[in-house]
Amino acid sequence: MKNKGLGEFEELVLLAVCILEDSAYGISVKKEVEKHSGRSILLGAVHITLYRLQDKGFLKSELGGNTEKRGDRRKRLFQITQAGMKQLKASQEVRQKMWQFIPQLKPST
Amino acid sequence: MKQRENKSLRFANWVFSKFIGQSYLEEFLGDLQEIHEDRLEYKSRFYSSFMYWIDAFHLMFGFSSIRFFKTQNNTTMLKSYFKIAYRNMLKYKFYSAINVIGLSIGISMSLLIAVHVFNELGYETSYPKHKLIYRLASTNWAKKPPVMGTEFKEQMPEVKEVARLFSFGPSVLSHEKKEQLIERPFLGDPSMIEMFDLEFIEGTKDALDEPSTILLTESVANRLFKPGEKRLGEVVVFDDGWRQTVTGIIKDFPKNTHLKIDCISSSTGSFIAKNTDLSWAGVSVFALFESQVDVKKVEERLMDFHVQFYEGLAPEEQIRQEITESGEFLELHPIADIHLHSHREKEIEANSNVIFIYVFSALAVFILLVVIINFINLYVAQTLNRIKEIGLRKVMGAYRGQLIFQFLAEAFFLVLVSSFFAVGLAILSLPFYNELASIPITINELLSTRLLLMLGILILIVGSMAGGYPAFYLSRFGISEGLSSRGLKINSKLPLRTAMVAFQFLISICLLSATLIVSEQMNFIEAKDMGFAKKEIIAIKLHRKLREEAILSREKIRAELTKHANVEQVSFSSHLIGSRFSVEPSYLKSRPEDQLSSRVLVADPMFLETMGIEVVKGGLQTKEFVGRKFFLNETAVSLLQRENILGETVYNTWQEKEGEAVGIVKDFHFASLHNQVDPLIIQLSIDDTNALEYMLIRVKSKDLASTISTIEKTLLQIAPETLIVPQLVNEHMDLSYRAENSMFSIFKMFSSIIIGLACIGLFALFAFVVQARTKEMGIRKTLGATMTQLLLIMSKSYLGILVTIAIIAAPVVRYFSNDWLDSFAFRTTVNWWYYVLPGILVLTLAALAIVVQSWKVAKANPIESLKSE
């Protein structure tokens, strides 16, 4: 369990948190990921991932912002940490590098 | 609705809060609620709540604060659970099998019943506008004059459309050379296309606007036309020579509607459109209301409408008084209520009865209760033997939570397996069920979401009830109780369990009594003297060429048929016995002020002889028959209140025909035994073509089949190329009890299953109870107790309860059976022993179960049971 890499779904969630900036919480993240990936996701899966990312130190969170719709309950707002940002960038770079080695996509010489 | 939903969500929250740590609670509940609100905006309330639960469960598993879900290394433990569960199943093969089989049978039967009940309750609901469609009818009469329909639409602004339907009975429809007997042809207004949202396969919605047009349902069209043949614009001919153009093919009507329509001829320009008779109540009138109309307000104006309808026939006050006296008030019936709640004259089809729904639902509940009780009893009894295992597990360091989980999981496992079998069993038994039931059930209906959801809830309930007791009660025991050689003292007098067994017993007795009583009534109907020769009369509907031949010369047909040795007599009549004849007004010429409204049958002079109807007084004196002679039945005579009716002239105002009353016939049952015998006038003549609807042929009862085929051959020689459908009069009579008959056969089947299951359950339970007292019996035996004493000691507590129950059951059954029997005008008398015998029977069975089981223990050598101490 102590691997520091990012799973595919974890990456999506992290990206969604980045996009949402200050308003990332369970449901908004769920909607964001659904919007971009086009699949439907269970709320529980999002929450579990968010907490796992927090345990790994990629996210930090605080409680705040209650609305009528939530029966006046506060939500937990997540934000990306330095480490999280680094991890995202790193995995992005790895991908980019590998793309360049795909034969069909090389500029023909 | 909203209330209930919120309750379910509140309950979900409560469960949730038990599992989830405080730190997470607020945000999660907030999220759950928010997402629920979101879903409500574009999904159904049901779906949203369902998803709420799913999400809640998902989060629970993800963030549970209970150690069980947290521990990472419980795989060994899980393996051991499975091993033990599996071994237990093998160790108690007999009980596990009874458990699973019993539960499967019970669940599968109740699934079938549930589908049946949903079908019945869902009558007419497949019409999109069914909530706005009402039938205009009156207190005892389901049909109304055609003019009333048009009038109703004009007078009531709330009515959007009126559609009138007329069924003209089985007829033969032909296209070129192909002939088909159409069971239910209808004549209908063009407005019904809109009202019932008929789906067109071919043709357009104005299909019925022109006169002499016809809509065929898909199945009828497939019978008349070859595949791929052109159908629109083709001409089809009814057997009376009525030619019509096919202007549309529509989808078949749904199977659960009382409008089982085969084809619809347009009423445009037909006699329905022309008929202005205010007293001929012959069509069903359906009204489609505008949405958001308060139908109650319309109902208040019905009386005024009714009076206005007969305006001009008499002063208003008099009309009002006549309506009140006749007791025939106009009523509006929601179309969906007709099938279960309407039993008027001239219904489109024989309707079912809401009582059947109650009976079936009760049966389903009973079956479920019996099998659930069995399951719980057996499972609990079985786990009591596992105290040692619990003790040992605790020594090895099992948490109580793990033990709870283990027992629950085992119970759920058994229930799940049973449910799986149950669905399979239900699918397998569909063909047999469909033999008995009036509406067939399809596999798709059996596997509908609604049912599977109910099944899911059932699994939850049974699993948690059966697993719950051992899980929470037994897991409390410490190591000492578990491992001491004494074991746990099992109290064989558990009040709850005794109550459950007593309840099963009560159900069994009631069902057995009910079955006996119902079959008694059915036999009574079979055997009742109907007042005419029931067995050997063949009826044949006259149509087309055959009818033409009969009009030309009925004597020729009679002569041809009576040549055969097996044909005794032939007669012609306007109606078939067993169907309801028309009601027509007549009076005695000598006293015109005394109107008699009676049923009328037109027939030829041979009728009484053919049908074997007994003449009480008078009769046909001479061989020479001239003019018209009337026979009255005893009821009609008593209504006329005349000393001597014979020789009087009776005048039928409708047919405008008169005849001399020459005889009185004994009351015979020309309708079903649900009804009292109505007054009846039989009009005999040799040339009235009204009588040429049915041919009645009395035959000798031997070689029936061959006689029927010779009759067919003879008739085909007289009238070639006609479709001849012979039916036996008594079979036609049986149609009026079809509902009861099919219900009774299903009822019988289910009762025997329930009783069987209850007995097996009892038997298995006693086996456990007796086993638990083996040591006690051993000690008693060494101290000198005799066999009889041992048996008594063991069975005393149960037998006492069972006897009490048997005594209680009798009056309960008596009360309900009287209710049902009273729905028949002619009911059997039920002997007192019908209430007592089932009790004694079931008691004997139960006693046998106890004694057999006790015997085994009592006979055993005490050394066996005591040596382990």
**Per-residue pLDDT reduced to its tens digit, B639-648:** 877 777 787 8
Interchain proximity B34–A42, CB inside 8 Å: no
Q: Is the pLDDT of residue B67 over 50?
A: no
Contact status of A70 with chain B (Cβ, < 8 Å): yes
Interchain proximity B62–A63, CB inside 8 Å: no
**DSSP calls for B677-711:** PPPEEEEEESS-GGGTTEEEEEE-STTHHHHHHHH
B26 to chain A nearest CA, in Å?
6
Nearest residue of A to residue B38, measured between CA atoms: A69
CA A8 vs CA A13, A24, A33, B339: distances in Å: 9, 19, 12, 59
Closest CA to B178 of B135, B111, B237, B125: B237
What was the pLDDT predicted at B190? 92
Contact status of B21 with chain A (Cβ, < 8 Å): no
Contact status of B592 with chain A (Cβ, < 8 Å): no
B62 to chain A nearest CA, in Å?
6
Q: Which residues in chain B have their CB less than 8 angstroms from residue A76's CB?
A: 27
Q: Is the pLDDT of residue A84 over 50?
A: yes
Interchain proximity B31–A71, CB inside 8 Å: no
Q: Which residues in chain A have their CB less than 8 angstroms from residue B27's CB?
A: 25-26, 63, 73-76
Helix residue ranges, H only, B396-537: 400-436, 443-446, 449-469, 479-483, 495-527
Interchain proximity A71–B33, CB inside 8 Å: yes
Percent of chain B with pLDDT over 70: 90
Structure tokens at B161: 């459309």
Q: Which residues in chain A have their CB less than 8 angstroms from residue B58's CB?
A: 42-45
- Predicted TM-score (pTM) of this structure: 0.66
Interchain proximity A44–B31, CB inside 8 Å: no
A20 to chain B nearest CA, in Å?
17
Q: Is the pLDDT of residue B580 over 70?
A: no
A42, A51, A73 member nearest B30 (Cβ): A73
Contact status of A92 with chain B (Cβ, < 8 Å): no
Q: Is the pLDDT of residue B134 over 90?
A: yes
Contact status of B62 with chain A (Cβ, < 8 Å): yes
What was the pLDDT predicted at B68? 45
What was the pLDDT predicted at B256? 84
CA distance B413 to B86: 10
What was the pLDDT predicted at B480? 64
User: What's the pLDDT tens digit per position in A8-34?
Assistant: 888 999 999 999 888 888 889 999 999
User: What's the pLDDT tens digit per position in B420-469?
Assistant: 899 888 888 888 777 766 677 777 777 777 888 888 888 888 888 888 87
CA distance B767 to B854: 8
CA B6 vs CA B1, B10, B44, B268: distances in Å: 9, 6, 14, 54
Q: Mean pLDDT throughout B772-784?
A: 81
Q: Is the pLDDT of residue B69 over 50?
A: no
Higher pLDDT, residue B18 or B461: B461
**How many residues are present in chain A?**
109
Contact status of A9 with chain B (Cβ, < 8 Å): no
Range with the lowest mean pLDDT among B220-234, B397-411, B700-714, B732-746?
Answer: B732-746
Most confident of A19-33, B273-287, B683-697: A19-33
10 Å Cβ neighbour count for B30? 25
